[in-house]
Amino acid sequence: MSLDSDVALIGTGAATLVAAHHLMQRGLSVLLLNPDGDFFLEDSELSFDPLWLPSSGASEVSAMGGIERILRNTPERALAELQPSFPGTVETWSSDSFASAGFRDPEAPYLRQRGRLWVVSPGEEPGLWEKLEELYVDCLDRDLNPQLLDGLPALAKFPGFAGRALDYRGLWIPKFCDVDVVRYRNGVLEFVRERLGDQKVICGATQVEPMPEGIRFTSLQGPKTARIRLGVLAFWTPRATQWVISQAKQNNSRPVLPQGLRVIEQWALVSRDSLDPKAIAALQDLVVCAQTSGAPPASTVDETDVGLFRLEVLRRGPLLPVDVISPQEHGASWASGESFEALRTLCLDFLGWDRFSIRSMRPRAILEWENPSPWKISDGALPVIVIPGCDGPLVDAVGAGRRAAELFAEEGLLS
């Protein structure tokens, strides 16, 4: 089978697969090169947008992203983005759909409607509550039915809360969502691989070098060369950073850099009591929810569902320059004494637990961009275009892959 194609895609995550799906729908032939051994090593897509509370410093004021990011993560908007790029059905779940009739595919990716909660204490960053009040007004104007809550009504919505009423205030937005990342990525991968064949979905591609009329690389079968008719799209995720930067240097191109690499710790804690799956909550640098996959059980006291007894905690770490750290080499060293102190404060002081146990910690990293837009590495006979913003919340990664394919096929991105 010839490797010659209309377009070559270089990337490691879901955005690359989504772009391949849309380009094939438009009748273009695709060669997909993944420098990793498979499509699950990247692990830089998140099931939801953390929408961290702003911390000290002007650079963090936009952490929550304002009303547009809230709207992008409502169930309706997220489903409108995710479903057209998925070859099957994206199932949906909400707290009032337990008894809904009809067949549901238990293996399909689920989009779960969950409320979003931010809680702050009076002693936190000055002006933080005012920012939440401004967001409340914006959400009210968009008919998102937000609520400002004081004391126990706010804390009662916080997953795992079993403490006494504290002097906290909260902003609650009832319509937010998360999605099963692995199921979604796997479904698109199976579809793309079935259409292209294993010969044109090449994992473990190394020494990838664009040439004037094509691209050369080394696979497990040895050196390969393919003619590429229209151009190359390179999807920039953390694991692709080294390749993008080195190609820019070789072509004397000035790369458009992200603001940095955001370190994230993903902890799984064991809860003694069943957790309510209906909320994703933020407290300081932590985002907390019940860890689950698929549709949560009809009753949250169903102790056969292990997921509802695991509290997922995302802890925001520092924002590092992209050339300082390699995620795959240094991720295991990110956790520190500060990490364990933050967990202790959350569980013992805030949630009111008498003890807590850690089941796992997974280091994550995503690139943070201010205004990501495609840029050219090379203006030669074969254009090479970098597509940024391909990691982070799955909704954003899927959107980046879809837009890249649309611009390529319809608006002459490479012209």
pLDDT digits 0-9 by tens, 14-46: 999 999 999 999 999 999 999 998 888 888 999
* Record: fold of 5-44+182-258+370-410: FAD/NAD(P)-binding domain (3.50.50)
User: Mean per-residue pLDDT for 380-401?
Assistant: 94
Is it the case that residue 305 has pLDDT exceeding 80?
no
Residue 299: the pLDDT is 53
Is it the case that residue 228 has pLDDT exceeding 70?
yes
CA distance to 130, 269, 275, 287, per residue, from 354 (Å): 33, 13, 16, 21
At residue 167, the 3 state secondary structure works out as coil
Higher pLDDT, 311 or 102: 311
Distance separating alpha carbons of residues 90 and 95, to the nearest angstrom: 17
Is it the case that residue 303 has pLDDT exceeding 70?
no
User: Mean per-residue pLDDT for 206-222?
Assistant: 93
For residue range 187-211, what is the model confidence (pLDDT) as tens digits? 999 999 999 998 999 999 999 999 9
Residue 238: the pLDDT is 93
Band of the pLDDT at 379, cuts 50, 70, 90?
confident
Is it the case that residue 125 has pLDDT exceeding 80?
no
Band of the pLDDT at 77, cuts 50, 70, 90?
very high
Domain with CATH 3.30.9.10 in the chain: 93-99+107-178+259-368
Given a contact cutoff of 8 angstroms between Cβ atoms, the answer to whether 369 and 258 are in contact is: yes
User: Mean per-residue pLDDT for 151-179?
Assistant: 93
User: Mean per-residue pLDDT for 369-382?
Assistant: 87
Residue 412: the pLDDT is 61
DSSP 344: H
Residue 43: the pLDDT is 82
Contacts of 213 by beta carbon, 8 Å cutoff, 6+ apart: 227, 228, 381, 382
The answer to which of 42-46, 264-268, 330-334 has the lowest mean pLDDT is 330-334
User: Mean per-residue pLDDT for 349-378?
Assistant: 92
DSSP 59: G
Residue 89: the pLDDT is 95
Is it the case that residue 388 has pLDDT exceeding 70?
yes
User: Would the CA dihedral through 1, 400, 110, 305 be positive or negative?
Assistant: positive
Higher pLDDT, 304 or 7: 7
Is it the case that residue 297 has pLDDT exceeding 80?
no
Q: What is the CA radius of gyration of the chain?
A: 22
Residue 380: the pLDDT is 76
Residue 61: the pLDDT is 34
Is it the case that residue 227 has pLDDT exceeding 50?
yes
Pairing of strands 45-46, 392-393: parallel
Nearest of 172, 154, 171 to residue 163 by alpha carbon: 154
Residue 331: the pLDDT is 47
Band of the pLDDT at 306, cuts 50, 70, 90?
very low
Residue 108: the pLDDT is 95
Burial of 333 (0-12, 13-18, 19+ CB in 10 A): exposed
For residue range 268-288, what is the model confidence (pLDDT) as tens digits? 999 988 899 999 999 999 999
Is it the case that residue 342 has pLDDT exceeding 60?
yes
User: Mean per-residue pLDDT for 79-84?
Assistant: 97
Mean pLDDT of the chain: 88
Domain with CATH 3.50.50.60 in the chain: 5-44+182-258+370-410
Higher pLDDT, 13 or 103: 13
Band of the pLDDT at 101, cuts 50, 70, 90?
very low
Distance separating alpha carbons of residues 93 and 108, to the nearest angstrom: 12
Per CATH, domain 93-99+107-178+259-368 is 3.40.50.460: no
Residue 334: the pLDDT is 64
Higher pLDDT, 234 or 131: 234
